[in-house]
């Protein structure tokens, strides 16, 4: 196993200015890096090689066209490489302060931790504590790494509600089309990756954003309800095929498909 290597052609260092100019500032910001100048890289000319340090399996800080795979990124501003026999794994790329969520099997055959940005009851699962004007504790803003994802997750949720309300398919079979960058932003909260790293490993399909809204928990709640509900005759209960007030379809007998899990939301600390 090994991580990624980065080559910035023509550069003579790997400071914040060089990383930002190459389009790597956001991906590598705040992470420990090791760099070194080389005379010949993937472009045939010189530049600087960069790797993440403090990793169990850091790649060799060298360029070797025989044992490494390289691709040009950001219009050639940098090149991304990794060991041909040892593509990076989640363990190689994990950020030190990961956000809890669901481990999802992605297209590389590994389980990646996708953070939950919207719990099934609504709101962010993690937030700063704040007080109202009377001094009562309330839920404040989510941490920086999760803040942008909260709006993303709400957008996904609203798409699901719209699809479910239209009755196009059963709730547990819902699949939505989202921006590919949405799944990447979810991964980037927990791993040192951006769109080029994710594409190099071939990780995503169009369902990768669903864990952001705690969809696995919602499905599990629906399945648990189905096992405990007592069937009611149609003439006694009336029709129960329509969506609940929040827009998701109801399960057999009319029970809501996403019960309150008791987890805090952004308007209440419990």
Domain boundary, last residue among 65, 92, 119: 92
Higher-confidence position of 267 and 12: 12
Q: Rounded distance, CA 12 to CA 16, Å?
A: 12
- DSSP bridge partners of 139: 129
Residue with tokens 């169990």: 56
- DSSP bridge partners of 129: 139
Higher-confidence position of 21 and 240: 21
Task: Report if residue 211 sits inside a domain.
Answer: yes
**Sheet-wide strand order for 47-52:** 33-38, 47-52, 5-9, 78-83, 68-73
Residue with tokens 């100019």: 21
Task: Report if residue 225 sits inside a domain.
Answer: yes
Give residues with Cβ within 8 angstroms of 203, minimum separation 6. Answer: 106, 107, 108, 112, 187
Q: Phi, psi (5° rounding) for residue 235?
A: -70, -20
Domain range holding 167?
97-237
Residue 4 has a pLDDT of 95
Query: Could you tell me the sign of the dihedral formed by the alpha carbons of 28, 58, 64, 66, in that order?
Result: negative
- Measured CA distances, 95 to 56, 99, 103 (Å): 13, 9, 15
Q: Rounded distance, CA 10 to CA 46, Å?
A: 6
Q: How many domains would you assign to the chain? A: 2
Residue 98 has a pLDDT of 87
Domain boundary, last residue among 40, 72, 92: 92
Enumerate long-range contacts of 50-54, CB under 8 Å, 24 or more apart. 50/5, 50/6, 50/7, 50/8, 50/14, 50/24, 51/3, 51/4, 51/5, 51/6, 52/3, 52/4, 52/28, 52/92, 52/93, 52/192
Domain boundary, last residue among 40, 60, 92: 92
Same domain for 180 and 64, yes or no, is no
**CA 32 to mean position of chain CA atoms:** 22
Task: Report if residue 126 sits inside a domain.
Answer: yes
Same domain for 77 and 119, yes or no, is no
Task: Report if residue 258 sits inside a domain.
Answer: no
Same domain for 36 and 124, yes or no, is no
Same domain for 161 and 231, yes or no, is yes
Same domain for 109 and 147, yes or no, is yes
Residue 8 has a pLDDT of 98
Average model confidence (pLDDT) for the chain?
75
* Largest pairwise CA distance in the chain: 81
Same domain for 77 and 120, yes or no, is no
pLDDT of 184 over the 80 cut: yes
Higher-confidence position of 37 and 244: 37
């Amino acid at each position: 196993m090994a991580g990624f290597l980065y080559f910035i052609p023509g550069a003579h260092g790997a400071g914040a200015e060089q990383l930002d100019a190459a389009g790597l500032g956001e991906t590598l910001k705040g992470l420990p890096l090791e760099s070194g100048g080389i005379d010949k890289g993937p472009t045939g000319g010189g530049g600087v090689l960069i790797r993440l340090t403090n990793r169990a399996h850091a790649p060799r800080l060298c360029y070797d066209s025989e044992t490494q795979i390289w691709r040009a990124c950001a219009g050639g501003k940098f090149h991304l490489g990794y060991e041909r026999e040892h593509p990076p794994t989640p363990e190689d790329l994990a950020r030190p302060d990961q956000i809890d969520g669901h481990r999802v099997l992605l297209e590389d055959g590994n389980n990646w931790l996708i953070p939950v940005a919207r719990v099934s009851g609504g709101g962010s699962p993690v937030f700063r504590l704040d007080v109202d004007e009377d001094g009562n504790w309330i839920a404040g803003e989510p941490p920086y790494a999760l803040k942008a994802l909260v709006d993303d997750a709400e957008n996904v949720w609203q798409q699901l509600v719209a699809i479910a309300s239209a009755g196009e398919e059963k709730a547990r079979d819902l699949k939505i089309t989202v921006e590919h960058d949405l799944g990447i932003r979810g991964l980037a909260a927990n791993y040192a990756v951006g769109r080029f790293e994710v594409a190099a490993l071939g990780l995503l399909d169009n369902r990768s954003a669903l864990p952001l809204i705690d969809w696995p928990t919602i499905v599990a709640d629906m399945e648990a309800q189905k096992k405990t509900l007592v069937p009611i005759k149609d003439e006694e209960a009336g029709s129960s095929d329509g969506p609940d007030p929040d827009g998701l379809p109801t399960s057999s007998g009319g029970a809501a498909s996403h019960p309150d899990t008791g987890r805090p939301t952004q308007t209440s600390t419990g």
